[in-house]
Structure 1
Amino acid sequence: MKKCILGSLLALFCSCSSHSNFDVASSLNYCEEQTLKSLAVLNDTTLMPRNILSGEEQKQWNCTSIYDWTSGFWPGILWYVYEYTRDDEIKKQAERYSSALFPVVDRKADNHDLGFMMFCSSGNAYRLTGEQKYKEILLRSADSLATLFDKRVGTIHSWPGMRKQKGWPHNTIIDNMLNLELLFWASKNGGGKDLYNIAYSHALVTSQNQFREDYSTCHVVVYDTIGGKRISQLTHQGYADKSMWARGQAWAIYGFTMCYRETGEPSFLEVAQKAADIYLKRLPEDYIPCWDFDVPNLLDAPRDASAAAVVASGLLELSSYVKDKAKVDTYFNSAVKMIEALSSPAYRSGQNNNAFLLHSTGHKPNGTEIDASIIYADYYYVEALIRLNRIYNNGKPNSDE
């Protein structure tokens, strides 16, 4: 297990060109190789790769159903690898696995993660192929997700089952920021203005309630459904209610950057920067965080490569929006440092298993997916590589999105 090595964050105010010698192609080729290994042993499209656990000498994926919140990441990985390689066989597999998720939208919405599930899969599919079937399923997915919006609060209801289990009238988790991209996309592609308004409202209310004074984020906010007021800030997957859960902070950085792209709202850009600044300030020397920044005995705490992958991808985009040159360099160079660390032998799965990355932490308080290879870490890692490759080829990180 990787251990946290405490230390001050290295100075990052060098020019963006200083890391231009990072071999993106080599890392993307590695992702292609690992993807082909997985495709050689995967066949059932009703089962989607989710994790490979440590300590079990396991090389192949544990799979989950198409209704799991992580189901869209494997098809999304296939589309990103196809985007890089233009390999028709990988495209065929991407189409198979993406289409396998279509039944998800035939059920009543009880999952706020339809964005993760459908936009990572069919969203990338439509972006790269323009095929109408993907557009139609995305619009249906957006309409389904929108049914979880509660106008009394102004956010999409996360985990509806928690109303009965925990007695929470309405809760919103920071993860839900990433599901908004589906709504923004749909609003521009035939879904209507209401979907934009829902996504904007969710982001605005979240920006006002999900953060502490230092712009660390809490995982869960509970609201009342009478006046829409915040009742409490809690954690579910973090160490404590007042701690900074690494992946939660990652969702915030990525999510508010995306929302600025889609809305041009200056306050969203400000939130993204403040969330990024505290994250960067508290990183260990190798740029890969422990699963929670406030856990005791950091030296013995498991890392979370998935958080690093999400932040790396988000920072590449964020660096293209800020005006201050020093901040541009800080965000860009930090992202490259994270990608370099993830691409090192310490974090690559290599011969260990068929995933891309080692050392992610899923749900530490629940004792699940600790120091594991997890599918969403691989998804955001290859996305970050694709974005960096675009930048090195004189394109913005979101130029094809």
Structure 2
Amino acid sequence: MTTSTSIPSNFQDVWQHAGHHTTRLVERIGASFPHAAHQGVYQCEEPHWWTAGFWSGILWLFHREDPASGFGEIARQCEEKLDMPLQEFDQLHHDVGFMWILTSVANYELSGDATSRRRALTAASHLAGRFNMKGSYIRAWNPWSEGEDNTGLAIIDCMMNLPLLYWASETTGDPRFRHIAIAHTNMVLNHFIREDGSVHHIVKFNPDTGEVVEALGGQGFAPQSAWARGTSWAMYGLTLSYRYTGDPAYLQAAKKVTHFFLSALGPDGVPTWDFRLPTDAPSYKDSSAGACAASALLELARCVPANESQMYAQHANSLLQHLIKACGNFSDQEEGLLLHGAGHVPEGRNQDNPLIYGDYYFVEALAKQRGYEGLFSPRARY
């Protein structure tokens, strides 16, 4: 096995490196579901795990530019393996958006495959079924253990699942999916986004009355802290909701959260896993938050006048350059594209590891630099 440690000089070279890297990884894992890399090797999860779509998403991003790569066939095999959790209610959660946008929606938009369309609409129906009229929120999870009650929990991550609902309304002409996405987004504006642009990770509702019970720290350091990846979910998700609806309140909220994120970055340009850490707390970097934010910035740049667009695009370029320099992997000894991702620091899981969703958003941002839409973007005809 050869090793290269030189850093590519431009985004074109990084894109090509990522494509070659993906070709090598396909040879080992094929149609599997990588999640986090340990000691240089991606560990794979079961199909019901929330990250099961991101590997397929990477494959579709490269397939779109080179259909002869063979990546599309591997992505279709991954999609077929997701049929089992699609039919098993107890294992599903709000992250069906992450899972089936990057598998079935991508396949349908690329190929017109009718089976993929039905799969994605089934997933959208499951997601819509998690909506609680009392509180206007989409419930995040089913119980993780016997006796646990998650019925009142909503989390900021769900903003990235809403494009599945917008897409379902577009492809069927049925506005009900869209109405639910809008109601959930309005709830986020009211209860998740703080005055300074920082974001709660979890808000707990009384599921019978809809009243807010409390905010929870979740994957952040504390309830009133500022979890970096949650901030990037909000940046991107609010921007996508604006692109799907044209509601100016969503654009203003996206800008507000974005400006908080950019102001909280340190001199090395890579976000710390939580932007409000006490001095004695562990200060791991989170490249996945940076990659998601870079893609969000490029999405936001499409939504604003030219002078603002240039500013957001420059911030995206700068963030990508920092990620490449500080976190980019250019060695064959490591299967992740981005080092130094922080999965769930409070629980001690994947505190300094490559993460497949970080890799996905990194590749997606590079694809946007090449003029493509993201796979979450509205009516992205590839």
Scaled by the length of structure 2, the TM-score of the pair is 0.91
Partner SS state of residue 233, structure 1: strand
Structure-2 residue corresponding to 1:239: 221
The question of 1:363 aligning with 2:350 is answered no
Partner amino acid, structure 2, of 1:159: W
Deviation at 1:302, TM superposition (A): 1.1
Quick one: distance in 2 between partners of 1:81 and 1:232?
43
Moved over 3 A (4+): 162-169, 297-300, 396-401
The question of 1:64 aligning with 2:45 is answered yes
Deviation at 1:323, TM superposition (A): 2.8
The question of 1:197 aligning with 2:179 is answered yes
| Greater Cα offset, 78-87 or 304-313 | 78-87
The question of 1:49 aligning with 2:30 is answered no
Quick one: distance in 2 between partners of 1:306 and 1:107?
29
Retained in 2: the 8 A contact 1:156–1:202? yes
Quick one: distance in 1 between partners of 2:221 and 2:176?
37
Partner SS state of residue 161, structure 2: helix
Quick one: distance in 1 between partners of 2:145 and 2:186?
23
* Residue-by-residue CA offset, 1:229-288 (whole Å, 9 max, x unaligned): 212111111011111100000000000000001111111111100000011011112321
Instruction: Tell me: higher relative CO, structure 1 or 2? Use CA pairs within 8 A at least 6 residues apart.
Output: 1
Retained in 1: the 8 A contact 2:97–2:161? yes
| Greater Cα offset, 92-101 or 210-219 | 92-101
Instruction: Choose from 128, 132, 145 the match for 2:114.
Output: 132
Quick one: distance in 2 between partners of 1:398 and 1:285?
37
The question of 1:390 aligning with 2:371 is answered yes
The question of 1:23 aligning with 2:23 is answered no
Partner SS state of residue 329, structure 2: coil
Structure-2 residue corresponding to 1:280: 262
Quick one: distance in 2 between partners of 1:269 and 1:298?
36
Question: How many positions carry a matched residue from both structures?
Answer: 371
Partner SS state of residue 222, structure 2: coil
| Unmatched segments (≥5 aa) in structure 1 | 1-21
- Percent identical residues: 31
Instruction: Choose from 310, 320, 333 the match for 1:329.
Output: 310
Retained in 2: the 8 A contact 1:222–1:230? yes
Distance 1:163 1:40, change over 3 A: closer
| Unmatched segments (≥5 aa) in structure 2 | 1-8
The question of 1:257 aligning with 2:239 is answered yes
Deviation at 1:61, TM superposition (A): 1.3
* Residue-by-residue CA offset, 1:349-376 (whole Å, 9 max, x unaligned): 5334122110100000000001101100
Partner SS state of residue 214, structure 2: strand
Quick one: distance in 2 between partners of 1:128 and 1:298?
49
Quick one: distance in 1 between partners of 2:355 and 2:242?
28
Partner amino acid, structure 1, of 2:171: N
Partner amino acid, structure 2, of 1:175: D
Distance 1:33 1:230, change over 3 A: same
Q: RMSD of the alignment, in Å?
A: 2.4
Scaled by the length of structure 1, the TM-score of the pair is 0.87
* Residue-by-residue CA offset, 1:126-179 (whole Å, 9 max, x unaligned): 222221121111111101111111111111101232797665651100001111
Deviation at 1:345, TM superposition (A): 6.1
Quick one: distance in 1 between partners of 2:198 and 2:218?
15
Structure-2 residue corresponding to 1:181: 163
Retained in 1: the 8 A contact 2:301–2:313? yes
Distance 1:234 1:324, change over 3 A: farther
Retained in 1: the 8 A contact 2:228–2:274? yes
Deviation at 1:60, TM superposition (A): 2.4
Counterparts in 2 of 1:291-330, with a 5 A limit?
291-297=273-279, 301-323=283-305, 325=307, 327-330=308-311
Deviation at 1:214, TM superposition (A): 0.9
Retained in 1: the 8 A contact 2:167–2:378? no
The question of 1:347 aligning with 2:332 is answered no
Quick one: distance in 1 between partners of 2:209 and 2:306?
39
* Residue-by-residue CA offset, 1:175-228 (whole Å, 9 max, x unaligned): 011110101001111162111111110111111101222120010001113431
Partner SS state of residue 52, structure 2: coil
Deviation at 1:346, TM superposition (A): 4.1
Retained in 1: the 8 A contact 2:220–2:227? yes
Quick one: distance in 2 between partners of 1:258 and 1:163?
33
